Structure 1
Amino acid sequence: MKIAVTYENGNVFQHFGHTEQFKLYEAEGKQITGSQVVSTNGQGHGALAGFLQAQGVQVLICGGIGGGARQALAQAGIAVYAGAAGSTDAAVEQLLQGALPQNGDVTCNHHHEEGEGHDCGSHGASHSCGGHCHG
């Protein structure tokens, strides 16, 4: 299995569409058999699904991701595990052990009653939205 993780300094990068690097992992069973960091060469949002497909990726682990990117990845046959944070190596180990949640909710789940003007991308660093509303 080939797994891609949005990558920055050893950790899961939190915005799929702006990631400059992916760490690609090869895995057999529950073991990582190899890994390498690859540059996206400045490709953004729309081109990243094709980039990952060309790399043979079957699973993506990322922080935040928007609905359009998620659709493009689904069309490319790539499973998405969003909302991840911390070490990329640890996230892949969790995936291989079946302990990484596959968060299908790409929108905020904490809308307030007033709701108008709410923009998921406008949360400050102190606002917690579960890591799945930044896309």
Structure 2
Amino acid sequence: MRIAVTYENGQIFQHFGRTEQFKLYDVADGKIINEQVVGTMGAGHGALAGFLKNAQADVLICGGIGGGAQMAMQEAGITLYGGNMGSADEAVAAFLAQTIVQNENPTCDHHDHEHGEGHSCGDHSCGSHNCGNH
């Protein structure tokens, strides 16, 4: 199995479509057997699904990811764990321990307004605007 994580300075990069690097983890028998950081060579939104498919990724762990990219991951047969933050290595450890949360709405589609202080896309309660499915 190969796990890909959007990557920047050891952390999960928060904007899938602008990802410049992925950290790839090869896993066998529940253990990481190889890690490598690969550049996307400037591939943007639409090309990143193909990039990951060519890299033989089975799982993607990322921060925010738009609806089109989510569909592209599904079409490529890549299991998505979006809406994550923090250390890339810790996220993969959580995946292997089966404790990572699969966020059903890892992004917001309402960027026509100002987010309030502490607003977090994908895991919040909305009162005056429409956020995806909640």
TM-score by length of 2: 0.84
Q: Offset of 1:97 from its aligned partner?
A: 0.5
1:85-123 Cα shifts (integer Å, max 9, x gaps): 111000000001100011122454xxxxxxxxx427853
Q: Which position in structure 1 is the counterpart of 2:81?
A: 81
Number of the residue aligned with 1:123: 115
Q: Could you tell me how far apart the structure 2 residues matched to 1:33 and 1:107 are?
A: 31
Against the structure 1 CA distance between its residues 107 and 63, is the aligned structure 2 distance closer, same or farther, given a 3 Å change threshold?
A: closer
Query: What are the residue-to-residue correspondences of 1:26-41 with 2, within 5 Å?
Result: 26-41=26-41
Alignment of 1:66-105 (within 5 A): 66-105=66-105
Cα deviation, residue 30, structure 1 = 2.0
Relative contact order, higher structure (CA 8 A, sep 6+): 1
TM-score of the pair, normalised by structure 1: 0.83
In structure 1, runs of 5+ residues without a counterpart are 109-117
Q: Counterpart of 2:62?
A: 62
* Residues 2 and 72 of structure 1: CA distance in aligned 2, closer, same or farther (over 3 Å): same
1:28 is displaced (CA, Å) by 1.3
Question: 2 CA distance for matches of 1:98 and 1:123?
Answer: 32
**For residue 112 of structure 1, what is the aligned residue in structure 2?**
none
Q: Indicate conservation of the 8 Å contact 2:25/2:36, yes or no.
A: yes
Unaligned runs of 5+ in 2: 125-130
Q: Kindly tell me: are residues 60 and 121 of structure 1, through their superposed partners in 2, closer, same or farther at Cα, counting changes over 3 Å?
A: farther
Aligned match of 1:8: 8
Q: Out of 23-32 and 56-65, give the one that drifted further.
A: 23-32
Identity among equivalent positions (%) equals 58
Q: Could you give the per-residue CA deviations for residues 55-101 of structure 1, whole angstroms, max 9, x where no partner exists? A: 00000000000000000110000000001111100000000110001
Q: Which amino acid aligns with 1:129?
A: C
